[in-house]
Structure 1
Amino acid sequence: MNVENLLVLAVALLMFPQLAQTLYSPALGDIGQAFAVGPERAGQTLSVYFLAFALGVVVWGRLCDRLGRRPVMLAGLAICACASALALNVSTFNGLLLAQAVAAFGAAVGSVVTQTVLRDRFEGAELAQVFSVMGIALAASPAIGLFSGATLVQHFGYRGMLAGLLLLALVLWGWCLWALPETRPASVSSASLGETFGLMLRDMQVWRSVGLVAAFNIALFSYYSVGQRGLSTVEFGYSGVLLALGSGMGAWLNKLLLKRGLRSEQLVLTAAGIAVLGSLLVLALQDSWLFVWPMLLVVLAFGMAIPNVLGAALVAYPDRLGTAAAVFGLLYYLVIGGGLALVAWAQELGWSLLVCGLAALWLAAPRVLRS
């Protein structure tokens, strides 16, 4: 498989988890009505998604070192498809949560295994450029997810969203069966998951990267969890298009500045500052629909920061990329899931964004000061 075709498939696989996450957002209101639960409990579906996703990251990341990238990818997508089909037939909210958790567990394969495949094929500056390209493509994911989810919910209710997720998982499974190559190196470290976990827990660089990934993701998904205030379902879906432009602009700007010689650490710090500014403006305008405009700054910061953080996170673990990616993903998805649970409980977008922005600024500053 040539590089161009691999990158196209990688884009689709990396977009899949984000699409699955954002497809749910416009359906939260309909889910609440269908199962007679309040917005706080309906909003917990996103936190459940991330917590189950974190478990999936560990399992699939470890298995792709043991069994290979291709068979693990096919297994994860198959589980996601089966769970989505099951969710279409549940009659209780707890049943929906369980089916969603299993689907999220399967969907995690699209994140951890795809990143591992890219790290198998690329390294150094080339890997940073690849993640920048991925970042530009991923910027479209929230827009596609929100718009598609809103359209499906408007015409078919939350079950339309579940059917869309099922179809997407089946299409990706067929594509991978036909085209995904096996990229696992001939020599992979025999280090255990426990050994790698202990090593990474003592690595402050890993924790700093975990905190940065979590802070920017919680800020982004806080909007999808509690940002519908004052907007109709259709307006909320269209707002995702606007925010995707901001995220894409951030990823494009990041790629441009990297080519001009700026260091990744500088770009992450700049992005954190932009996120703080955007969160302050959202906080000031959150009683008006105008808060959507400064939210553009928050998602622009996400687009700038995430490719740099991911590109540098596991450079110290080239002999165990799948296992290291499993541990790394587990840590940051647990933090994201916990953070989104707090956001759903608080129902405060502006303050949630500000806390995330300040945390990112605090975590990014030492990276620049050390260099």
Structure 2
Amino acid sequence: MSRPFSLILATLLMMFPQIAETIYSPALSDISHHFAVSPELAAQTLSLYFLAFAVGVVVWGRMCDIYGRRPTMIAGLLIYAVASLIALCVSNFSYVLLARMLSAFGAAVGSVVTQTMLRDLFKGKQLAHVFSLMGIALAISPAIGMYSGSLLSSHFGYKGVFTGLFSLAFVLLIWAFLALPETKQAKEIAAAPLLATAKIMLKDLQIWQVAFLVASFNVCLFAYYSLAPFMFEQLGLSTRLFGYTGLILALGAGAGSLLNKQLLQRGACSPKLVLLASVLTILGGIGVLLLQQSALFVLPMLLVVTGFGIAIPNILSSALHAYQDRTGTAGALLGLLYYMLIGGGLMLAAWSQSLGGVILICGSLATLISIQRSST
């Protein structure tokens, strides 16, 4: 390996898709007013983003098995940078949607290829430890995105946000080009057959459980980013204040990730921890429903993001143990499945405009699945 593997760069690449998504969230109100579209239509940009992201996950995951991890990562980052530049220049909302979908396609490389590289290099408890650290990074990345997005949006409008997105992609592209190593093992001569792998995974109940669990916790989180800007606007509160809530929620998610790390060290099993996270999500959803006419609805969201910080590392670290011979392809197909579920869930969330209801439904679904997994 000509370049040493950097966990710092890997962490930033893992954080990149969430930062790229949440930095856009504070600009939704400005986009709605600038292009004269309804809040529901503006919020749909998030659901379309995740559907395009799902396609990107399977394409990049497949490419990293065929062509290698490094060239795939560089190609995805390049596409994201170009798409962000297009979004900055267009003046029609339909073109903004298309540019956002193209950027989502490129951003997916940060998720699936980084996870594949980590599975190349780490196994067993070491992998669980690394994913736990990644969970902490993922917990704070929405806060970074929201705070940055609120500053850019309040000073420069939505174009400031797109400029920030382009700059972020450009920096990561140069860094990856200069420092990212190839982690694909030499013995991996041929990529596993895509359709054959898909057939195996679609018959695997554990894969479906993982996909619905990942989707449930992510829909809860991103429903906040898509619906809360308009809730704040209705309450007469500023975009910058909405951005500050990301810092509060990051504390909850970070606390969840640290608590998860401590519980794992004390011998707690992953299924039980995911069940705990699911119950916290239900309690948070009830609180949001009761307080959604007040800015205090942010407080029970702390329970939701704490659950996210506990659940996601435990779900992802054990998701593909049975697919070690085809991690890129299997990771791509799993990502395709759960990102399509996330996109569909966010479409329903944008239609319902009920943050508390969405969280309660997702938390209940996660609880049912977690109980079944814990019992087996």
Question: Same-fold call, TM > 0.5?
Answer: yes
Structure-1 residue corresponding to 2:259: 253
The answer as to 2:294 corresponding to 1:288 is yes
Give 1:69 shift.
0.2
Give me the whole-angstrom Cα distance separating, in 2, the residues matched to 1:29 and 1:274: 30
1:1-371, aligned counterparts within 5 Å? 6-188=6-188, 190-228=191-229, 229=231, 230=235, 231-370=237-376
Give me the whole-angstrom Cα distance separating, in 2, the residues matched to 1:51 and 1:126: 32
Give 1:3 shift.
11
Give 1:23 shift.
1.0
In structure 1, what residue type is equivalent to 2:206? Answer: Q
Residue by residue, what CA displacement relative to the aligned partner does 1:337-364 show, whole Å, maximum 9, x if unpaired?
0000110111001101100100100111
TM-score (norm 2): 0.97
Q: List structure 1 segments (4+ residues) > 3 angstroms apart after TM superposition.
A: 1-5
In structure 1, what residue type is equivalent to 2:297? Answer: F
Give me the whole-angstrom Cα distance separating, in 1, the residues matched to 2:76 and 2:54: 13
Identity value in percent: 58
Give me the whole-angstrom Cα distance separating, in 1, the residues matched to 2:5 and 2:156: 34
Give 1:2 shift.
11
Give 1:323 shift.
0.2
- Give the unaligned 5+ runs of structure 1: none
Give me the whole-angstrom Cα distance separating, in 1, the residues matched to 2:145 and 2:183: 29
Give 1:282 shift.
1.1
Give me the whole-angstrom Cα distance separating, in 2, the residues matched to 1:31 and 1:190: 42
Give me the whole-angstrom Cα distance separating, in 1, the residues matched to 2:65 and 2:201: 17
Q: Secondary structure at the match of 1:261?
A: coil
Q: CA RMSD in A?
A: 1.3
Equivalent residues of 2:3, 2:181 under 8 A apart? no
In structure 2, what residue type is equivalent to 1:116? Answer: T
Give 1:34 shift.
1.1
Give me the whole-angstrom Cα distance separating, in 2, the residues matched to 1:12 and 1:150: 20
Give me the whole-angstrom Cα distance separating, in 2, the residues matched to 1:22 and 1:3: 31
Residue by residue, what CA displacement relative to the aligned partner does 1:25-80 show, whole Å, maximum 9, x if unpaired?
10101111111101000001101110110000000000000000000000000000
Residue by residue, what CA displacement relative to the aligned partner does 1:196-217 show, whole Å, maximum 9, x if unpaired?
1111000000000000000000
Q: Secondary structure at the match of 1:186?
A: coil
Give me the whole-angstrom Cα distance separating, in 2, the residues matched to 1:259 and 1:202: 33
- Give the unaligned 5+ runs of structure 2: none
In structure 2, what residue type is equivalent to 1:82? Answer: V
* Segment of structure 1 superposing worse, 356-365 or 228-237: 228-237
Give me the whole-angstrom Cα distance separating, in 1, the residues matched to 2:358 and 2:171: 36
Number of positions where the alignment pairs a residue of Structure 1 with one of Structure 2: 370
CA gap of 1:36–1:328, structure 2 versus 1, over 3 A, is same
In structure 1, what residue type is equivalent to 2:218? Answer: N
In structure 2, what residue type is equivalent to 1:164? Answer: G
Q: Secondary structure at the match of 2:318?
A: helix
CA gap of 1:104–1:167, structure 2 versus 1, over 3 A, is same
Give me the whole-angstrom Cα distance separating, in 2, the residues matched to 1:211 and 1:69: 27
Give me the whole-angstrom Cα distance separating, in 1, the residues matched to 2:85 and 2:241: 28
